[in-house]
Amino acid sequence: MLIYELAFSCKPLTFWSLCQTLVDIHVDNGQCVIVCGDIHGQFYDLCNIFDKKGFPSQDKQYLFNSDFVDRGSFSVETIFTLFALKCACPLWIHLARGNHESRSLNKKEVLAKLNETVMDMFSDTFCCLPLAHALNRKIIVLHGGLFSRDGVTLSDIKSIQRFCQPPKRGLMRDLLWSDPQDSPGRSESTRGEGIIFFGEDVTVIFERQQSRSFVNSSLCSQHLTTATGRITNESSSFSKLHKWSQIFRRSQLCDTRTGCGSNGLLQTE
């Protein structure tokens, strides 16, 4: 059996198609969740994470917060490994969709290494991945950030029709693309049409609106583009003052540009 046939034989597409768009993750006392940011086809970074932190287990869950593919040279190997781990221990490893989990950004490598059939499998599975996770109803984990309007609820997130390629506008677009900024309010992003930056005040309003569902909530994301268009490993200043954390996992960008690489840990006591 070919490796991609083995990876898809456990039908991860069927599993994720039954998941909600916002998935709740429960962590018991003494257990932890390791939240990892962008891998971007850096397969050896992925191996290094497991070498340093250990493999998923009942006491140590993993949440890979999207952008597993594109830019690096080993996107196929990276996603096969994550899919296989999800099939082997579905309760201990969680995968979210990012803006790079799209057909157009990954087609070249997949066709060079495999074929159109596998590309269709990847594309269909990416469309089924959840867009957000909630850890113990205290921490909301998103790939991008908050929304172009106030008043968005957790029910609205759960109701997003995610079974499609990333759209040009709407809540799904915001979840996958938006970034925090130091100044208040919202502004147009340098990333493209329909993408926003949002300030601390937007975060405060969102948290207050979720207070009935979440107690002392915090937010976590991994996009790191500033208002000047610069990719950085430094969190915006308001994230240091308020309840926003950013995680940027990969040690290199496009196999050449050095980055810090990081992961987050939630542990209950």
Per-residue model confidence as pLDDT tens digits over 61-70:
999 998 999 8
- Count of beta carbons in the 10 Å neighbourhood of residue 166: 22
DSSP for 123-146? HHHHHHS-SEEEETTTEEEESS--
Strand 179-180 and strand 244-246: the pairing is unpaired
State the amino acid at position 183 in one-letter form.
Answer: S
- Token duo for residue 219: 């937010």
- The rounded distance, in Å, linking the Cα atoms of 264 and 25 is 15
Angle at CA of residue 248, ends 12 and 242, nearest 5°: 110
Concerning whether 100 is annotated as a catalytic residue, the answer is: yes
> Can you point out the beta strands (E) in 42-185?
60-64, 93-95, 132-135, 139-142, 179-180
- Token duo for residue 138: 């205290």
Res 213: pLDDT: 63
Spell out the CATH class of 3-267: alpha beta
- Token duo for residue 49: 């994470």
pLDDT tens-digit series, residues 10-32:
555 566 677 889 999 999 888 99
CB distance 206 to 160 below 8 Å: no
Q: How confident is the model at residue 257 (pLDDT cuts 50, 70, 90)?
A: very low
Q: How confident is the model at residue 112 (pLDDT cuts 50, 70, 90)?
A: very high
- Checking if the pLDDT of 55 tops 60, the result is yes
- Checking if the pLDDT of 218 tops 90, the result is no
- Token duo for residue 199: 């300030």
- Checking if the pLDDT of 241 tops 80, the result is no
Q: Out of 100, 143, 223, 242, which one is annotated catalytic?
A: 100
Stated pTM of the model: 0.82
- With a pLDDT cut of 70, the percent of the chain lying above it is 72
141, 143, 194, 203: which is closest to 170 by C-alpha?
194
Q: How confident is the model at residue 162 (pLDDT cuts 50, 70, 90)?
A: very high
For the chain, the domains span 3-267
CB distance 93 to 160 below 8 Å: no
- Count of beta carbons in the 10 Å neighbourhood of residue 170: 14
